[in-house]
Amino acid sequence: MPITELLQKNADFYPNDIALVEINPKLENKNKMTWREYSLIETDPSQAYRREISWGLFNKTANRFANLLLSRGIKKGDKVAILMMNCIEWLPVYFGVLKAGAIVVPLNYRYTAEEIKYCINKADADYIVFGPEFTGRIEEICHRVPRVRMWLYCGEDCPSFADSYNELISYCSSRTPKIKLTDDDDAAIYFSSGTTGFPKAILHSHRSLMHSCMTEQAHHSQTKDDVFLLIPPLYHTGAKMHWFGSFLVGAKSVILKGIKPEWIIKTASEEKCTIVWLLVPWAQDILDAVDSGEIELSEYELSQWRLMHIGAQPVPPSLIKRWKDVFPEHEYDTNYGLSESIGPGCVHLGVENIHKVGAIGKAGFGWTVKICDEHGNEVTQGEVGELAVKGPGVMKCYYKDEKATDEILKDGWLYTGDMAMADEDGFIFLVDRKKDVIISGGENIYPVQIEDFLRKHDAIKDVAVIGLSHQRLGEVAAAIIEVKEGYSLTEDEINDFCLDLPRYKRPGKIIFAEVPRNPTGKIEKPLLRKKYQSENLVAMQNEIN
Average pLDDT over residues 13-17: 97
Share of the chain above pLDDT 90, in %: 66
Q: What is the pLDDT of residue 35?
A: 57
Q: Would the pLDDT of 46 be above 90?
A: no
The reported pLDDT for the residue numbered 545 is 44
Q: Does position 107 have pLDDT exceeding 50, yes or no? A: yes
Q: How far apart are CA 390 and CA 393, in angstroms?
A: 8
Instruction: Label residue 317 by pLDDT band (50, 70, 90).
Output: confident
Supply the pLDDT for residue 173.
96
Q: State residue 42's pLDDT score.
A: 46
State whether residue 357 is helix, strand or coil.
strand
Answer with the residue of higher pLDDT: 326 or 504. Answer: 326
- DSSP β-ladder status, 201-205 and 397-398: antiparallel
Q: Residue 33 and residue 51: Cα distance in Å, rounded?
A: 8
pLDDT of amino acid 10: 98
pLDDT at 72: 94
The CATH number of the domain covering residues in 438-544? 3.30.300.30
369 band by pLDDT with thresholds 50, 70 and 90: very high
Residue 412 pLDDT level (bands cut at 50, 70, 90): very high
Closest CA to 284 of 446, 145, 462, 406: 462
445 pLDDT exceeds 50? yes
What is the per-residue pLDDT for 368? 96
Higher-confidence position of 532 and 414? 414
Mean pLDDT of the region 387-400: 95
**Span 151-171, mean pLDDT?**
94
* Local confidence band at 307 (pLDDT 50, 70, 90 cut-offs): very high
Nearest to 151 by CA among 123, 120, 176, 179: 120
3-class state of residue 498 by DSSP: helix
> Does residue 219 have a pLDDT over 60?
yes
* Triad 444, 522, 233: Cα angle to 5°: 160
Q: What is the pLDDT of residue 234?
A: 93
Domain locations in the chain?
4-258, 306-433, 438-544
Domain 4-258 and domain 306-433, same fold? Reply is: no
Average pLDDT over residues 251-274: 96
| CATH 3.40.430.10 is right for the domain spanning 306-433 | no
Instruction: State yes or no: pLDDT of 30 exceeds 80.
Output: no
Q: What is the mean pLDDT of residues 99-111?
A: 94
Residue 287 has a pLDDT of 93
Mean pLDDT computed over 96-101: 98
pLDDT (tens digit, 9 = 90+) per residue, 494-520? 999 999 887 878 899 999 999 988 766
319 or 216, which is more confident?
Answer: 216
pLDDT of residue 306: 97
SS3 at position 434: helix
Taking residues 207-230, report their average pLDDT.
96
Calculate mean pLDDT across residues 213-240: 93
Contacts of 140 (CB under 8 A, 6+ apart): 113
Q: Say which CATH topology domain 4-258 has.
A: Rossmann fold (3.40.50)
pLDDT at 92: 97
- Tell me which residue of 186, 188, 231 sits closest to 93, measured CA to CA: 188
Report the chain's mean pLDDT, rounded to a whole number.
89
Q: Kindly indicate the confidence band of residue 184, based on its pLDDT and cuts at 50, 70 and 90.
A: very high
The yes-or-no verdict on residue 298 having pLDDT over 90 is: yes
**pLDDT band with cut points at 50, 70 and 90 for residue 439:** confident
Higher pLDDT, 99 or 532: 99
Going from the C-alpha of 453 to that of each of 105, 430, 489, the distances in angstroms are 39, 14, 16
What b/e readout covers 227-240, taking b as 16+ CB neighbours within 10 angstroms? bbbbbbbbbbbbbb
CA 363 remoteness from chain centre: 20
**At 216, which helix (H) or strand (E)?**
helix 206-220
Least confident of 148-157, 430-439, 459-468, 509-518: 430-439
Residue 540 confidence (pLDDT): 46
Of 100 and 501, the one with more pLDDT: 100
| Residue 41 pLDDT grade (very low, low, confident, very high; cuts 50, 70, 90) | very low
